[in-house]
Every structure is written in structure tokens, then in C-alpha cells.
Chains A and B, each alone.
Chain A
Amino acid sequence: MIADKVLSLEGLSKRFGSVVANDNVSLELYRGEILALLGENGAGKTTLMNMLFGHYLPDSGSVHVAGEKGALRPLALGHPQAALEAGIGMVHQHFTLAENLSAFDNILLGSEPLSRLRRDRSTGRAKIDQIMSDSGLRADLDIPVGRMSVGERQRVEILKALYRDVSILVLDEPTAVLTPQEADTLFENIGAMAKDGLSVIFISHKLREVLAFSHRIAVLRHGTKVGEIASADATERTIARMMVGAETPETKRESHEPGAPVLRLENVSVAGRSRRDSLSDADLTVRRHEILGVAGVSGNGQSALAGIISGLMPLSKGAMVIDNATINGHDPLTMIRAGVGRIPEDRHHDGIVGSMSVAENMVIERLDDPEIQTRGLLKRDAIQAHAEKLARDYDVRGPGVEANARLLSGGNIQKMILARVFERSPKLILANQPTRGLDMGAAAEVARRLLEARSRGAAIILISEDLDEILSLSDRIMVIHDGELVEADTRDRETLGLMMAGEAA
């Protein structure tokens, strides 16, 4: 690799109110290099890249970018247009695509002058064809982005950046929504482009892909850069330690013989509003002392599965049996009374009532309990004492149990939900993406609580996109793809990945 410096960030700092998002971060990038930016949620990775791209104005610090002749020149900060002109392209974690437009229109958006009365489509198309054949990234240009799969949308995002002749490409968690195979293909393409001189920064918290595909790793923690290491010299253990600042406790599994079946789904179909939330002819059994992992890329029927188990969606066919009793009708209360505890996918939206206090949220699923109310009147003192005890036991931190639940951080909201669910010792626990968006410490806590519930005798359904999480926690694994649920009799990542993509039976 030729050591041409193409980008240098010097002492960037950014505060949001009293929160320091980045503190004096410096970073360099060389031509043809793939740099992985690693760190826990809230470590400041995305903020740093948003400053580079002009979405945020840094409080202090400067950025220099190599010009055409290779000399470093200062970049005007706070202007996405300036970053684009300097050859920096960014692919955001949340796609910035207009779903009503075709891929072609999305790629050209912003690169054509708005004042022209005619568009030159053929030149644009020829250039995109060239980029597609150079990079190996393919997409159907003529269909609306709204009808594309997530993987295809991702490719459109990258093509959009490449169309602007970028020399530096920033990818914010590019594989968060991809199957392992899609992710590997993406990185192979990126690797090939880097060989041709493209410099890449990618943000991730998947240690495996960082080690496999980057040249160099920079680690952020609490807004500061805590270290840099050549990928060849790194191991998962060393970089995990750099990220967290301490050893993460290993999750310990006790061995248990699975007991009697708790939940059985027999030939169950669910007709959702779209294929994304439908289920067809699903069979599933989960027993006491057992964690059943349901792996799959989101949008393949997980919401239908979670919907029927939490009582939010009706079955259109088949039977649901809990403890040998068939469940008729669907409503959340029936399921709660049948002993189901749910950890919802979208904890902010479905897990809490943000404008109610933490204490109220903690009793919201048991308002008919005589400990909580008599003849419809709430026992405020009992609710308060109960909440303070749970907050202590489950280490829920924040501005106190009287404060509105929305003021808690994501990790503490999840702990609050765990407290509410586990307190009732449910027979069956539905954990839908329970660690998504949590930092390693909070994620380890969730895993520990799930394993604890398993030891106690609960049956657990763990729905997750994170294959590593599924593999480390589950006793059995099923794969969900396009509304079909298939038992996986393997723990091989490669095979499971293919099944998630629907490419193997």
C-alpha cells in the first residue's frame, strides 16, 4: 500500500448540551485503505462521521482532505456540499433514499442542476453502468426503491455515492441489515474498489467482519479515540477490551434437559398487511428450560410470529397451544394471563408509555392485581415501593422512578422492561431483538437474565438478526425467511446464513 494520506481529522470535538459526543479526536486515512471505526453505541462514531460530512458543525478541530494533486487542503466544515465536492461520500445507517423514485432517479438526485428544463438520462445511465461493472455492485435501475430488498437498497446507496466520483467512502454500519452472505459480498466488492484506490471508513460493531475485512482499526470509547491497531495484529478479545475498557464477562450456560412443551404452534398461518408481516404454515415447539433462537433478516415474518405470541395479531389458520390448552381469540391480556412475558422489538414504541412514570410503567401489565389497586383506585405508595425495589434489583438507572420513562437511556429502558417481565416469572418469554442498539454491558446483562430465566424453567423464544447472539444463547435454532419457519439442524454460520437468505432448504 502506498502511504498517500488522503484525509486527516485533527482534534475534532462536539458537545450536545452537556453531553460530550466527541472529545479531541484525530484520525488519518490513506489511499486504498479500509479503516474500521469501532466502538459501542454512544461512543461517538456516527457523530464523528457526521462532522466529516458536514451534517454537524464541530465545536473545535479541523479536517484536511487531499485535493486533486494530492496535497492536503482544509475542508469547509458544516456543509455537506463541500464534503461532496472534496470527494467524500457517505452511506448512512438509515438510508437516505426516496422510496417513490427509481434507483436511477435516486442516484442522479442532486448531481443534476435543478434549473435545467431537460434531463440527460443517457449519459447518466452510461456512467452508472460503468460504475456497476467496475465495482461489482448491481441494482435494477428502473424499479422504485420502495420495492427493493434491503440489500439492494444498500447497493443503490453506495452506487449513489460512487456516482459522485468519491475518493473517500464512509459507510455507517453497512451490514446491520444484511445476511452474512450479502455482507461478505459487499466487503469483497469494497475490497476490490480499495485496490483501485478508493479509501474507505466503515463503522461497525461486528468484531468478526472488522477483523476480516479492514486494514486498520480505530476504537472510540466515550467520545475519545482510545487506540488504533493494525487488523492483522488484532484479535476479537483485544479489540473488545479496547471498546469496553474491561474484559466482558463470558456468558455462562448451565446445561439443562429440556422439559415439557410450553408453547406449540401447529400449522399456523398469519395474514398480515404485507408479506413482511405474514406467516405461512408454521410449526414450532418450545419447552421448559429451553431457548429457541429464531434467526432471520428482519421483515421476514418475525413481526407476525411476535404478534400472535403477544396477542396482538390473530391467527388466520392453525392452533396455538400453551401448556396443553388451546388459546382461542387474541388479545394481549389473554396471553399475559397464560404466562407470556414479552420483550418487544421496538422498546420505545411498544415497550413503554413514555409520558408515564417509570413506576407506572413497571405495573402497567398487572393493573388488575389487588396489590396495585383496590376497586379501581391505584395504591400509589405500593406502586412506588415496588418500583424502587425493581429498579434496585435490575439496576435501572436514571432520574428516579417518578420521572417519565422516556427520559431513561435505551439500555435502562430495556432493563426496566426486563424487570417488568421477569418479576412475574413468566412460563414463556418472547424476546424480540432484545439487545438491538444496546452497548456490550447492557447486552451482556440481557443475556444473563435470559439464561437465568431458562435455569428457572422458562421457555424462551429469542428472535434476533444477530447470528452471534443466536448461536451463543440458543439451545435450538430455527430460521425464518419470507414467512416460513424452518428448523435448522446445524450451527454452521455459513449454512444458517444461506437459510436466512432463502437459498438453502
Chain B
Amino acid sequence: MMDILQIVLSESFWAASLRIATPLIFGVLGALLCERAGVLNLGIEGIFVVGAMSGWMAVWLGAGLWGGVLVAAFAGALFGLIHAILTVPLGLSQHVSGLGVTLFATSASYFAYRTALPNVTSPPRIEPFGALDIPILSDLPFLGPVLFQQTALTWLAILMVAIVWYVLNRTALGVAIKAVGDNPASIDAQGLSVYGLRIGAVVAGSALMALGGAFLTMSAFDAFFFGMVNGRGWICIALVIFASWRPGKALLGALLFGAFDALQVRLQTEVGAFLPSQVFLAAPFVLSIIALVIAARSADYPRALLTPWFKGQR
């Protein structure tokens, strides 16, 4: 018991939690934006892969790190656009289209990687984002290492929470996005474009998701390898429900998951002798299922989620 307490009080545990949470923060925000507009985006898992691959590839081909981030966002937006066109104006099943986009995006990324690097056995490395050293703040006890030695992308993720919150709660655009996810007829009756809002939200949300992937290859690691996304996208889909579609709670949910994950790694080394390591690997997922079961009972889904809308039909 003392061991757990020691872990939870350590700086490295909290720094790791925030680091693990970063891609999830991007992913949950992206999924939240899509769903607030009424579109479930199961393309998220594949869009993570696209973001991870394209961002890394751009840097490896000579672009700057921020150039890589832009490329990743753009590539994510592109796959988001495919999902948006299939589900919004064409009104196809959001589940089927989303899973299709995930399969397509994942395979396309692997294909592009293999085509560009046919004979490579160990993945080539890039120089990733380094810790953002802020004088004075970085040297603070505890807070310094936890908060102020993270990379720029972690800061971008936290900034994005604030931006998405502001847009949804303080701008007319946010009101319109929430309205189109609740009752598209309310938007159409005011002469606004249901399709425009929904496509826009899905494209922007997908760009955010891709940033989550880009963090993996450009900040957490320094190379791209197959299977590295490893279900993070699916976790985000669950975390959105846990967050009841609110950006602040999304940050909380991502941090909670990050903390579970950081804890299990440390517990493995501490008490690994007694329990098989798979128990620890599964723990964060089991805990998020439990958290989800509790949160989802009172979940207030956007009313028009999954419901396509066609003009002139009510």
C-alpha cells in the first residue's frame, strides 16, 4: 500500500499521466466536436494512424516539426471529409462509414509507409519535439517537472480544450453546432446550412484527432511503426460519453485514463511477481469500462446523433 502512495506522490507519475493523456485529449476533443454536430466518427482509429504516419513522414522528408503537425492535421481533415460526405449529404450509416474510414486510413498509411521505405528493417528516426523548458517555472518543485517539462504538443492539446470550450459556449458558431446536433430542423428553419455545419465540424474534429496521432510519432516516440495507435481512438469514443460531450470533462477523462495507465506500468514493476502482467495491461481499459458504465447511465446524447437529415423531409 505504501508503494502505491509513493508512486502517486511522485513527480514522474504525474508527468507520465499528462504525457499519456495528450493524444487522448486531442482525440476526445475531435470526437466530441463531431458528435456535438450529430455525427459519430468511428474513423478516429484510422485517422490517428494517418496523423501519426503523415506527420512523421513530412518531418522525415525534411519539413519542420510544426510543418509536420500541419500536414498531419490536413491529412486527418481529408479523411474526415470522406466520412462527412458519406454520412452527411449522402446520409449513409455512420457506423459503417466510420469503420470503413478506419480500415481505409490505416491501410493507406501502412501502404504509403511501405512504398516510401521498401527495404527498411528498423524504422528511421526523426528529432522529435523536446521538452519545452520554461525558465523559473520548470525549476519549481513538483509542478516544474509535471507541467513545465512537457512538449509543445501537450500544451497545444490543453490550449485546444480551452478553444473548443470557448467556441461551443461563447460563440454563435458553437450554438449552431450544438443546435444541428440536437435538431437539424432548427438550423434549416433559420436559413443556415445543416450540411455545412456538420461537414465543417467533422472535418475540424478529424484534424484534431490526427494531431493525437501526430503526438505519438513526433513527441512520445521518434518513429512510426505498425500498430502503434493500439486502440487509442476507440478509448476516445468511450471517453466522449464519460465526458458528456463537454470539453472540460473530456480533459478530466483523458487525464484519468492517463493516470490509470501510468499507474499500471509502475505497479507492474512493484508487484509484478504476484500477478501476470496482462492484468495490469488490461486494468486501464477495465477501469474505463467501469467509469463508462457509471457515467453512461445518465448520458445525455445529442438528440440527432446518428440521424441523417435530408432537406424537405420531416
Q: B178 to A115, Cβ gap below 8 A? A: no
Q: B303 to A100, Cβ gap below 8 A? A: yes
Contact among B181, B183, B311 for A96, CB-based, below 8 A: B183
Give chain A residues whose Cβ lies under 8 Å from the Cβ of B172: 108-109, 112-114, 116, 119
Which residues 272-313 of B have a CB within 8 angstroms of A? 300, 302-303, 311-312
Contact among B171, B179, B190, B300 for A118, CB-based, below 8 A: B171
B271 at interface by CB-CB < 8 Å: no
Contact among A56, A84, A99, A101 for B190, CB-based, below 8 A: A84
Give the residue name and chain of the B residue nearest to A82 (CB). B191
Give the residue name and chain of the B residue nearest to A90 (CB). B189
Min CB–CB distance A341 → chain B (angstroms): 32
Q: A117 to B171, Cβ gap below 8 A? A: yes
Q: B191 to A94, Cβ gap below 8 A? A: no
Cα of A99 to Cα of B179 in the assembled complex, Å: 8
Cα of A114 to Cα of B179 in the assembled complex, Å: 13
Min CB–CB distance B192 → chain A (angstroms): 5
Give chain B residues whose Cβ lies under 8 Å from the Cβ of A476: none
Min CB–CB distance B147 → chain A (angstroms): 28
Which residues 56-88 of A have a CB within 8 angstroms of B? 56, 79-81, 83-84
A55 at interface by CB-CB < 8 Å: yes
Q: A114 to B186, Cβ gap below 8 A? A: no
Which residues 102-131 of B have a CB within 8 angstroms of A? none
Q: A99 to B183, Cβ gap below 8 A? A: yes
B176 at interface by CB-CB < 8 Å: yes
Min CB–CB distance B39 → chain A (angstroms): 16
A265 at interface by CB-CB < 8 Å: no
Cα of A416 to Cα of B265 in the assembled complex, Å: 66
Q: A111 to B190, Cβ gap below 8 A? A: yes
Give chain B residues whose Cβ lies under 8 Å from the Cβ of A84: 190-191
A365 at interface by CB-CB < 8 Å: no
Also in contact, A109 and B173, with CB within 8 A (given A97-B183, A100-B302, A100-B303): no
Q: B171 to A98, Cβ gap below 8 A? A: no
A275 at interface by CB-CB < 8 Å: no
A199 at interface by CB-CB < 8 Å: no
Give chain A residues whose Cβ lies under 8 Å from the Cβ of B192: 109-110, 114
Min CB–CB distance B213 → chain A (angstroms): 29
Min CB–CB distance A441 → chain B (angstroms): 25
Give chain A residues whose Cβ lies under 8 Å from the Cβ of B183: 96-99
Q: A101 to B182, Cβ gap below 8 A? A: yes
Also in contact, A80 and B312, with CB within 8 A (given A97-B183, A119-B170): no
Q: A109 to B175, Cβ gap below 8 A? A: yes
Give the residue name and chain of the B residue nearest to A56 (CB). B312
Min CB–CB distance A78 → chain B (angstroms): 10
Give the residue name and chain of the A residue nearest to B311 (CB). A55
- Most chain A CB neighbours (cut-off 10 Å) among B170, B183, B185, B187: B183
Contact among B171, B189, B302 for A116, CB-based, below 8 A: B171
A106 at interface by CB-CB < 8 Å: yes
Q: A80 to B188, Cβ gap below 8 A? A: yes
Min CB–CB distance B24 → chain A (angstroms): 25
Also in contact, A92 and B185, with CB within 8 A (given A112-B172, A114-B173): yes
Contact among A79, A97, A111, A112 for B186, CB-based, below 8 A: A97
Cα of A135 to Cα of B192 in the assembled complex, Å: 27
Cα of A112 to Cα of B192 in the assembled complex, Å: 11
Give chain B residues whose Cβ lies under 8 Å from the Cβ of A56: 312
Q: B170 to A118, Cβ gap below 8 A? A: yes
Cα of A94 to Cα of B185 in the assembled complex, Å: 9
Min CB–CB distance B249 → chain A (angstroms): 15
Give chain A residues whose Cβ lies under 8 Å from the Cβ of B300: 100
Min CB–CB distance A208 → chain B (angstroms): 27
Cα of A273 to Cα of B176 in the assembled complex, Å: 30
Give chain A residues whose Cβ lies under 8 Å from the Cβ of B178: 98, 100-101
Give the residue name and chain of the A residue nearest to B176 (CB). A114
Q: B190 to A110, Cβ gap below 8 A? A: yes
Give chain A residues whose Cβ lies under 8 Å from the Cβ of B181: 100
Give chain A residues whose Cβ lies under 8 Å from the Cβ of B190: 80, 84, 109-111
Give chain A residues whose Cβ lies under 8 Å from the Cβ of B175: 101, 105, 108-109, 112
Which residues 178-234 of B have a CB within 8 angstroms of A? 178-179, 181-183, 185-192
Cα of A94 to Cα of B313 in the assembled complex, Å: 12
Q: B171 to A109, Cβ gap below 8 A? A: no
Contact among B179, B191, B303, B312 for A81, CB-based, below 8 A: B191
Cα of A110 to Cα of B303 in the assembled complex, Å: 20
Cα of A114 to Cα of B185 in the assembled complex, Å: 17
Give chain A residues whose Cβ lies under 8 Å from the Cβ of B303: 99-100
Give chain B residues whose Cβ lies under 8 Å from the Cβ of A98: 178-179, 182-183, 186
Q: A106 to B186, Cβ gap below 8 A? A: yes
Give chain B residues whose Cβ lies under 8 Å from the Cβ of A90: 189
Cα of A222 to Cα of B57 in the assembled complex, Å: 65
Give chain B residues whose Cβ lies under 8 Å from the Cβ of A116: 171-172
Give chain B residues whose Cβ lies under 8 Å from the Cβ of A119: 170-172
Cα of A386 to Cα of B303 in the assembled complex, Å: 43
Give chain B residues whose Cβ lies under 8 Å from the Cβ of A100: 178-179, 181-182, 300, 302-303
Q: A96 to B182, Cβ gap below 8 A? A: no
Give chain B residues whose Cβ lies under 8 Å from the Cβ of A115: 173
Give the residue name and chain of the A residue nearest to B177 (CB). A114
Give chain A residues whose Cβ lies under 8 Å from the Cβ of B182: 98-101
Interface residues of chain B, those whose CB is within 8 Å of chain A, are 170-173, 175-176, 178-179, 181-183, 185-192, 300, 302-303, 311-312, 314
* 18 A-B contact pairs sorted by A residue (CB < 8 Å): A54-B191, A55-B311, A55-B312, A79-B191, A96-B185, A98-B186, A99-B182, A100-B302, A101-B179, A101-B182, A105-B179, A109-B176, A109-B179, A110-B189, A110-B191, A111-B190, A112-B172, A116-B172
16 A-B pairs besides A83-B191, A92-B185, A109-B187 with CB distance below 8 A are A80-B191, A96-B183, A98-B178, A99-B182, A99-B183, A100-B182, A100-B302, A100-B303, A109-B172, A109-B175, A109-B179, A109-B192, A110-B187, A114-B176, A117-B171, A119-B170
7 closest A-B pairs by CB: A110-B190, A81-B191, A98-B179, A112-B172, A96-B189, A98-B182, A80-B191
